[in-house]
Structure 1
C-alpha cells in the first residue's frame, strides 16, 4: 500500500522506517531543502529505547550520546553561582536513558530507512481529499497523488492537521512559556552554566557540536507570525532584556544576528486531540500529541507513536477504522503520562517566583550533596 508522510524529523523518519520495513511504498515530503539542522539536545527514554533496539539503531544512539562529566553551575541574576545541576539526578526514567543532539539522531534515523523510500524535499501538501478509494493529495507545486494513508509528522504547527482536522487553535494549548535556541559564535569562550531569575532561564551548553544558547521564558501567549524571524528576534531580545549579567549581552547579540545558525523560537505548547486519526489521515509526534519541551518526552513519543501506528495499520490490512481503536488503546495512556511530565518540569526549569527559585536551588544543592556522598 502507498503511504505519504509529511515531515522529515524524528516522527516522520521513524514512520518511514516502520512503514517501509513492513512492506509499504513510502513517500516523505519535507518543506525544508533537507533534514532540518539545529535544536536542543533531546532524550531517547523509556519505551523509545526498546523501539530504537527493534530498529537496530540503539547502539549507534548510545555511541553518539551527549557526554557530560561535571554538573553545570547554576547562577543567580547577578551571575553568582548558587548551585550546580546534573539532569541525571532526577530527569531520567531509567538508567539507560540517552541524551543526543537532534542532528545526530536525525542522521541515525535517516540511515535506518530502507532503500526505496522516496524523499521529496522543498515540497509540501496543499490539499487533502479523503474518500473510500484513498486520499487524493494536492501538492504546492501543482502535482497530485493518491495514497492509502497520509501521516502528518510535521510538528506543532502541522499543516496536515490543519487540512484534515481543523484549525490549530482547536488543538494546541499554550503551556505558559516560550523557548529560543541559537548556535553561539565559536570565536569566543562560552561558560557552560544556567542562569535563572523568576520566570526566566538562560543557559549555555555544548552537546559536542559547539556551544548553544537557550532561553526559557514564562509568558502569556503572544500573538506573532511563527514564520516571521525578525519578529521572533525582537521578542527574544525583549524577554532577555531583564538580565544584563554574565554572558547575556553576548547571547542577545547572537539571537539578534540574522546570520546565526541553529535559530529557533516557539511557544512551549501541548497538542490535545480527541482522536489522532480521521478517515485515512493520521497525525503523530508533536502534530498529534506534543508533550511540550519541558516534559523531555517529545522524541520518545514521536518514535513510539510511529512504530505503533505502522504496526496496527498493517496488522489490520490498511483498514484504518479497525486499526484506530487498537492504536488509541495502546498509545493514549502513554501520551497522558508523558504530557503530565511537563507540569513537573516547568517549576524546575523556570521557577515562577523568587521563593520557588530559592526552593529549587536548595533542592539542587541537596542533590549535589547526596551525589558527593554516594557517587550516584
Structure 2
C-alpha cells in the first residue's frame, strides 16, 4: 500500500513509523524546509506511554525527559508573589507521565522512522482527486498517486480543507490566544508565572534554552495570521504590566527577529468524521484538543498507532478500518477536549475575583503536597 502522510510533526512522524512498520510504502511531505524546531515542552501521557513502548522509544523518551521542576512563583499585577504553581498538580494522568522538549521528542520519533519513509520537505499538498482505487495528489513538487492519504498537518490542515471543506466549519476558537518566544540564553531570567485578569505570562528554562509564553483571553482577532501583527498584539497585551520580567518579555515578543516566535488561537477541531473516501485525518487536523489539555502529543501518538493497525487488519476495507480507528481514538479525544475549560480557568483566570480564587486554590494545593 502506498501511503502519503502530510505533516512531519508528532502525528506525522508517528504515522510514518507505524505504516512503515506494517510494510507500507510511505512518503512524508512537510511544507517547512525541515522538521520544525522550538516550542514549549510537551507530554507523553496515559495510553501514549504504551504506544511509545510498542514503538521502542519509551526508554529514550524517559532518558530525554525534562527534569522535574520545583513549583514556580506566581506574581500578581503588583509584582508581589501570590502563590506557587506546578503543572503536575493539575495535569498529570499518572506518575509515569513524561514531559520532554518538542525538539527531543521529534528527534526520537524521526529516528524511529529511520529509512522506513521518504521525506520531502518544502512540499505542500495543493490538490486531491480520489476515486475507488486511489488518490491523485498534487503537491508543490508535482503529481503522484497513492492508495491512502493521511492528513497530519495540524490545526490549519491543508488536507482537511481540500477533502472536507473550509477550516471555519471545524475549528472552534476557545476565546484565548497563545504566543511563544525563545529568550536570550545569555541573560539570567527569573522562572515563574505572572497573572493579571485575562492574561498570563511565564518563563521556563528546561535545558534547551529559556522560553517565554503568553496566554490571553480575547475574541477572534481579524489579523491573527499576519506575523508582524502577531508580534504587535503579543507585546500590546503586556503593555500595561511593568513588574517581574514582563518588560523584558514584552520586548522579546515585539522584536521583529524574535527567534522561536509562535502565535495562534487556542482552538479545538470538532468533526463528525475524520475520513472521507481514502483520505483520513490524524492529530490536531482531526481532533485538536488545544494545548490547555496537555494531551495533543499523546493523542497524536495513540491515533497513529490505532489508524495504522486498523488499516493493517482491514487493508481491503478502508471504511471499516477508519471506523475502527475512530472507535478507539474518540473516547480519548472526548476526555481531553472536555478538560480544557477547567484548565483555562487555572492558567488564565478571567477576572480579579477568579484570580483570587485560583491563587487560594494554589496555596491550598501547595500546602497539601508540602511544596
Q: TM-score band, normalised by the shorter chain?
A: over 0.9
- Worse overlay, 149-158 or 318-327: 318-327
Match of 2:315 among 314, 317, 330: 317
TM, length-normalised to structure 2: 0.98
> What's the CA shift string for 1:281-326, capped at 9, x where partnerless?
0111110100001111111111111111111011101421121221
Given that residues 16 and 116 in structure 2 are in contact (C-alpha distance below 8 angstroms), is that contact kept between their aligned partners in structure 1?
Answer: no
Write the distance in 2 (CA, Å) between the matches of 1:229 and 1:321.
Answer: 40
Write the distance in 2 (CA, Å) between the matches of 1:185 and 1:69.
Answer: 21
**Unaligned segments of structure 1, at least 5 residues:** none
1:244 corresponding residue in structure 2: 242
Given that residues 151 and 284 in structure 1 are in contact (C-alpha distance below 8 angstroms), is that contact kept between their aligned partners in structure 2?
Answer: yes
Write the distance in 2 (CA, Å) between the matches of 1:101 and 1:292.
Answer: 17
Given that residues 4 and 147 in structure 1 are in contact (C-alpha distance below 8 angstroms), is that contact kept between their aligned partners in structure 2?
Answer: yes
State the number of aligned residues: 371
Corresponding position: 1:254 with 2:283: no
- Worse overlay, 121-130 or 69-78: 69-78
Corresponding position: 1:233 with 2:249: no
Write the distance in 2 (CA, Å) between the matches of 1:220 and 1:93.
Answer: 30
SS in 1 for 2:266: strand
Given that residues 156 and 167 in structure 2 are in contact (C-alpha distance below 8 angstroms), is that contact kept between their aligned partners in structure 1?
Answer: yes
> What's the CA shift string for 1:8-29, capped at 9, x where partnerless?
0000000000000011000000
- Give the deviation of 1:99 after TM superposition: 0.7
SS in 2 for 1:120: strand
1:168 corresponding residue in structure 2: 167
Write the distance in 2 (CA, Å) between the matches of 1:245 and 1:68.
Answer: 27
SS in 1 for 2:113: coil
Given that residues 72 and 84 in structure 2 are in contact (C-alpha distance below 8 angstroms), is that contact kept between their aligned partners in structure 1?
Answer: yes
1:1-376 mapped onto 2 (5 Å cutoff): 1-141=1-141, 143-224=142-223, 226=225, 228-372=226-370
**Unaligned segments of structure 2, at least 5 residues:** none
TM, length-normalised to structure 1: 0.97
Structure 1 residue ranges, 4+ long, deviating more than 3 angstroms after superposition? none
Given that residues 224 and 264 in structure 2 are in contact (C-alpha distance below 8 angstroms), is that contact kept between their aligned partners in structure 1?
Answer: no
- Cα RMSD over matched residues? 1.1
